[in-house]
């Protein structure tokens, strides 16, 4: 009987130890699951935030990308005499513009209008739909820009100026004759734009 009682005690102790190990294991699993959830949430947040910051920077909203200073200069647009007028404020001795273009803001692959200069131009003002001297119209403006639709306007420079210009997103219905819509969400009067130094 003594031996049998000893066996029972041993089994009870063993069972208690087993239950304790299982409980500890369960706590460990829960902690791991919680940590895993935190890691997953952090990864998802980072995965969402990084593309948003990158796209915003490309569209000219002024979010810094790491230590890269990003595009310099400014692009401005307004209406004047029934035309949609563009002014470029490029940094450097001269703009050396190789193309001016309007894309759909929803799809950058949908080009609405584009002109190009093989040699690069020092012009700093343009009219959407028109082809100034020294440029070739690559994609003509098929129809007038639509009110209620957002467009992305920008110009490109030679490869030795990799930072380029910060473009501007606009809705033709928002354009006014007395104020310019400028890169990074600014609006400026004629006098303010004339003295504005984005460099």
pLDDT in tens, 94-152: 678 999 999 999 987 899 999 999 999 999 999 999 999 999 999 999 999 999 999 99
pLDDT in tens, 32-61: 444 554 445 455 555 655 555 445 444 444
Confidence check: pLDDT of 64 > 60: no
Query: What is d(CA 91, CA 96) in angstroms, rounded to the nearest whole number?
Result: 10
Higher pLDDT, 95 or 195: 195
Residue 114, CA distances (Å) to 61, 106, 126, 136, 163 in order: 23, 17, 12, 9, 20
Domain boundaries, the chain: 1-58, 74-195
């Amino acid at each position: 009987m003594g031996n049998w009682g000893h066996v029972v005690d041993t089994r009870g102790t063993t069972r208690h130890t087993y239950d304790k190990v299982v409980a500890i294991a369960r706590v460990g699993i829960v902690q791991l699951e919680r940590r895993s959830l935190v890691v997953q949430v952090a990864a998802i947040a980072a995965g969402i935030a990084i593309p948003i910051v990158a796209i915003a920077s490309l569209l000219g909203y002024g979010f810094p990308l790491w230590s890269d200073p990003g595009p310099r200069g400014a692009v401005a647009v307004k209406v004047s005499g029934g035309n949609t007028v563009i002014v470029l404020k490029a940094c450097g001795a001269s703009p050396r513009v190789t193309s001016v273009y309007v894309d759909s803001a929803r799809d950058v692959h949908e080009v609405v209008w584009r002109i190009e200069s093989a040699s690069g131009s020092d012009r700093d003002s343009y009219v959407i739909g028109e082809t100034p001297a020294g440029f070739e119209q690559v994609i003509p403006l098929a129809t007038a820009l639509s009110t209620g639709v957002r467009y992305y306007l920008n110009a490109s420079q030679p490869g030795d100026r990799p930072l380029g210009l910060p473009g501007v997103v606009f809705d033709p219905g928002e354009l006014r004759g007395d104020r310019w819509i400028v890169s990074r969400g600014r609006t400026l009067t004629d006098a303010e734009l004339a003295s504005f130094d984005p460099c």
